[in-house]
Amino acid sequence: MEQRSPVHEIVNALWKALHDLESTAETHDIERWGFSIHAALSAAGREFHNHDHVVDLLHDGDPLEVIAALYHDAVYIQVDQGPPRSMRNEIAGVLQQGADGWRILPEAAAPVSADVLGVFGRQVGEIVTPTTGLNEFASALVSALQLQDALDREQRIAVAACIELTIPFRTDPVNALASRLQALGIPASRHEDMVRRAVRVGNRDVENFSNNDAAQFLDNTWKLLPESNPELHAPMVYTVRDYRKALLKMEGFLAWLPAERVFHRWGDEPRAEVHARRVARTTGNLKLAVRYLRAKLYSISLVEAIAETTGGDVPLDYFMGGLKSTQLARPTAGPVKRIEQFLPQLAHAPDLDASLHRLLAEGRASESSFDTGPSPLGAFLHATVGESAVMKGVEHAKKWWAGGMDAADFLAAQPARPVAAIARAAGNIIDTRRDRLFALAERLER
pTM: 0.91
Question: Taken in order 164, 166, 167, 170, is the CA torsion positive or negative?
Answer: positive
| CA proximity to 214, closest of 287, 118, 119, 115 | 287
Instruction: Note whether 246 and 343 are same-domain residues.
Output: yes
pLDDT of residue 151: 98
CA dihedral 187, 191, 194, 199 (to 10 degrees): 160
Q: Name the 3-class secondary structure at 98.
A: strand
Instruction: Note whether 199 and 223 are same-domain residues.
Output: no
CA triple 424-430-432, angle to 5 deg:
115
> Of 205, 222, 253, which residue constitutes the final position of a domain?
205
pLDDT of residue 362: 87
Instruction: Note whether 272 and 141 are same-domain residues.
Output: no
Strands 95-98 and 127-128: unpaired
Instruction: Note whether 246 and 387 are same-domain residues.
Output: yes
Beta-ladder partners of 315: 239
Which residues neighbour 30 within 8 Å (Cβ) at sequence distance 6 or greater? 11, 14, 15, 18, 150
Q: What is the DSSP string of 386-404?
A: -HHHHHHHHHHHHHHHTTS
pLDDT band at 268 (very low <50, low <70, confident <90, very high): very high
Ramachandran class of 169: left when φ > 0, alpha when ψ lies in -120 to 50, beta otherwise = left
Q: What percent of the chain has pLDDT over 90?
A: 74
Domain count of the fold of the chain: 2
- Residue type at 19? H
Which residues neighbour 82 within 8 Å (Cβ) at sequence distance 6 or greater? 97
Instruction: Note whether 189 and 242 are same-domain residues.
Output: no
> Of 172, 205, 238, which residue constitutes the final position of a domain?
205
Rounded to whole angstroms, the Cα distance separating 397 from 403 reads: 10
Q: Flag whether 1 is in a domain.
A: no
Q: Does residue 357 contact residue 383 with C-beta atoms inside 8 Å?
A: yes
> pLDDT by residue (tens digit) across 339-355?
999 999 887 877 788 88
Which residues neighbour 210 within 8 Å (Cβ) at sequence distance 6 or greater? 262, 263, 277, 278, 279, 281, 282, 285
Rounded to whole angstroms, the Cα distance separating 119 from 428 reads: 60
- Domain of 346, in residue numbers: 214-445
Beta-ladder partners of 239: 315
Give the mean pLDDT of 110-117. Answer: 98
Instruction: Note whether 17 and 44 are same-domain residues.
Output: yes
H-type helices in 121-239, by residue range?
A: 134-146, 153-164, 173-183, 188-205, 214-228
pLDDT at 297 over 70: yes
pLDDT of residue 328: 43
Rounded to whole angstroms, the Cα distance separating 224 from 186 reads: 36
CA 240 from chain centre, in angstroms, equals: 20
Cis preceding linkage at 84, omega within 30: no
Instruction: Note whether 223 and 187 are same-domain residues.
Output: no
Q: Flag whether 156 is in a domain.
A: yes
CA triple 131-137-141, angle to 5 deg:
160
pLDDT of residue 92: 97
- Per-residue DSSP letter, 266: B
Instruction: Note whether 196 and 285 are same-domain residues.
Output: no
At 349, phi and psi to the nearest 5?
-75, 155
Mean pLDDT, rounded, of the chain? 91
> Of 205, 227, 243, which residue constitutes the final position of a domain?
205
Instruction: Note whether 182 and 312 are same-domain residues.
Output: no
In which order are the strands placed within the sheet that holds 95-98? 95-98, 101-104, 127-128
pLDDT band at 329 (very low <50, low <70, confident <90, very high): very low
Q: Flag whether 62 is in a domain.
A: yes
Give the mean pLDDT of 172-177. Answer: 97
> pLDDT by residue (tens digit) across 187-214?
999 999 999 999 999 999 999 999 998 8
Q: Flag whether 351 is in a domain.
A: yes
Q: What percent of the chain has pLDDT over 70?
A: 93
Q: Flag whether 169 is in a domain.
A: yes
Instruction: Note whether 194 and 220 are same-domain residues.
Output: no
pLDDT of residue 327: 43
CA 191 from chain centre, in angstroms, equals: 32
Give the mean pLDDT of 137-143. Answer: 98
H or E segment and range at residue 246: helix 240-256
Instruction: Note whether 177 and 265 are same-domain residues.
Output: no
Instruction: Note whether 248 and 326 are same-domain residues.
Output: yes
> pLDDT by residue (tens digit) across 147-170?
999 999 999 999 999 999 999 999
| CA proximity to 204, closest of 236, 162, 170, 153 | 162
